[in-house]
Structure 1
Amino acid sequence: MIARIAVVLPAYNEASLIGPALQALRAQTLAPAELIVVDNGSTDATALIARRLASRVIHEPARGCVNARQRGFAAASAPFVATTDADAIVPPDWLERIAAHFAGAAPADAVYGPVRLDSATRLQRGGERLYLRFVALMDRLGYPHFNGANFAVRRAAFDAIGGFRSDMRTYSDLDLALRLRGQARIVYDPALAARLGAGGWHRWEPSAACSRALLPAARAAWPRHRPAL
């Protein structure tokens, strides 16, 4: 049986980008069971464009990507939920590849892939290569590195850990991965790539803020689920 996968896309003032993102999702070789846009208080035409192209548009007044994504996951009725961003373009077989991982003899509970830059400077391309190596290394060490622009999860596994943490304004996707890793089968598919414009460089840029945000969750997860090396 082919998995039924809902897609959740949070958006805030993305009128210039959300159209192509939604068109890519509508052109999937495996159609989404639901295509849900969560408008996070946009003041431009984001919601108007979304209403033309998505199955549903939900308004989440509490600002913050984590609130919008949590609201979308709660609204989805399909047994699997995938998520991407309004400035990301996924390939035509994105959902088909995800569905294949949720089926088979050893079905996954979560699937994620890398996020790449569509156009970039030489420095940014170098940063992207380092980022991709880092994600692959973390996967081999047993530490999945979810990016909100490119992952999917079995709804039952998501609900079992309480979904996203609303107290994490940033890196809630990474925190979700750390909390899932000890009790769910997570698959990294390096060929399952979403693409961003060069403005998405901030997704790879190393920063002290990222380290500070992730370190408490990593410390909490490490003693309980130390991977075998």
Structure 2
Amino acid sequence: MKSAKPLRYSFIIPTLNEGGYIGACIESIKLQPGDDFEIIVADNGSTDKTVALAKLAGARVISVSQKGLSHARNQGAKVAYGEYVCFIDADGRMSKNWLVHARKLVTEKDLDFVSGLTVFHHSKWYKSIWFNVYTLLAYSFVWICDRVFKKPPIVGNNLVIRKRLLEKLGGFPAVVAEDVYLTRKLWQESGSRGTFAPTMIIYYSSRGFEATGYLQTILYWLRAIHTPTSQENYAYNSKR
């Protein structure tokens, strides 16, 4: 993971009391082939063992006092050494060739950003199918935007983006559905090049759907897309 040559990729993980997830998340990143990346945990005030476990796993940990998922992501990106910043949330597990696909796309096609595919996992197979109905609907829209209209959206919890482009866009806005609002800004910019890559898979827990309720969660997101809603009182574990 550490190398004498310049780092090209910085993985950013925002956290708030993610002790039950952070270790496995970091390990899934460390299993990515190559030594051109670093792992940054941007902690938003955890009171459990998140910070200790992240350090034990070899991540660089920074403390972010301003509350909110976007603030944590943005501060992580600010201190990143990589040319590209990669975003994953603490309850995510990267597929083993995620970075292989990301490297290939940004290098061969000289892309500024690539969004990957999010898949929800539950120990009960029928719940996995039910929760991934959302994935099917959401990514049908993503695919159409990318392939038909040539305007790929940003997927905030499965993303590799050139650091200077993220800075140009002003970082993630501090609202719920932050990636939707960032996508709107991106589409107004000329010259950036990106795509959607279904081969870049991150597996996520279904904890948000179960904590808040499946339909209630989706309705909340839809309202947030229509009317900007602050992240200040938005729990990390309820974001999905």
Interval of TM-score (by shorter of Structure 1 and Structure 2): 0.7 to 0.9
Structure number having the greater strand percentage:
2
Gaps spanning 5+ residues in structure 2: where?
1-5, 229-240
Q: Which position in structure 2 is the counterpart of 1:114?
A: 117
Taking the aligned partners of 1:164 and 1:152, their CA distance within structure 2 comes to: 13
Native 8 Å contact 1:143 1:178 kept in 2: no
Q: 1:6, 1:36 within 8 Å by CA — same for their partners in 2?
A: yes
- Of 27, 42, 59, 2:31 maps to 27
Distance 1:20 1:53, change over 3 A: same
Matched residue, 1:222: none
Query: Number of residues paired by the alignment?
Result: 214
Deviation at 1:77, TM superposition (A): 1.6
The whole-number CA distance in structure 1 between the counterparts of 2:19 and 2:130 is 28
Query: Are 2:202 and 1:194 equivalent residues in the alignment?
Result: yes
Counterpart mapping for 1:137-148 below 5 A = 137-139=144-146, 140-148=148-156
Q: 1:207 aligns with which of 211, 218, 222?
A: 218
Q: Determine the C-alpha separation between the residues in 2 that align with 1:34 and 1:175.
A: 27
Do the aligned partners of residues 30 and 175 (structure 1) sit closer, same or farther apart at CA in structure 2, a change above 3 Å counting? farther
Match of 2:184 among 175, 178, 181: 178
Q: How far apart in 2 are the matches of 1:203 and 1:117?
A: 15
The answer to whether the 8 A contact 1:4-1:78 is kept is yes
Asked whether the equivalents of residues 18 and 50 of structure 2 are also in contact (C-alpha less than 8 Å), the reply is yes
The one-letter amino acid paired with 1:132 is Y
- The answer to whether the Cα contact below 8 Å between 2:7 and 2:81 also exists between their aligned partners in 1 is no
Q: 1:221 — aligned with what?
A: none
**Residue equivalent to 1:131:** 138
- The TM-score normalised by the length of structure 1 is 0.83
Out of 40, 45, 50, the residue aligned to residue 46 of structure 1 is 50
After superposition, the Cα gap between the structure-2 partners of 1:114 and 1:79, relative to the gap in structure 1 and judged at 3 Å, is: same
Q: Deviations over 1:37-93 (max 9, x none)?
A: 011101110011001113310011111101100100001021111110100001121
- 2:12 aligned with 1:8: yes
Bigger Cα displacement from structure 2, 141-150 vs 51-60: 141-150
Q: Is the 8 A contact 1:31 1:95 kept in 2?
A: no
Report what 1:90 is aligned to: 94
Decide whether the 8 Å contact of 1:131 with 1:204 is kept in 2: no
| Structure 1 residues without counterparts, runs of 5 or longer | 218-229
TM-score, normalising length: structure 2: 0.79
Give, in whole Å, the separation in 2 of the partners of 1:130 and 1:209.
16
> What do the CA deviations read for 1:4-43 (whole angstroms, capped 9, x no partner)?
1111000111100111100001111134522100111011
8 Å CA contact 1:88, 1:194 repeated in 2: yes
**Counterparts in 2 of 1:32 and 1:50: CA distance versus 1, 3 Å:** farther
* Match status 1:151 vs 2:154: no
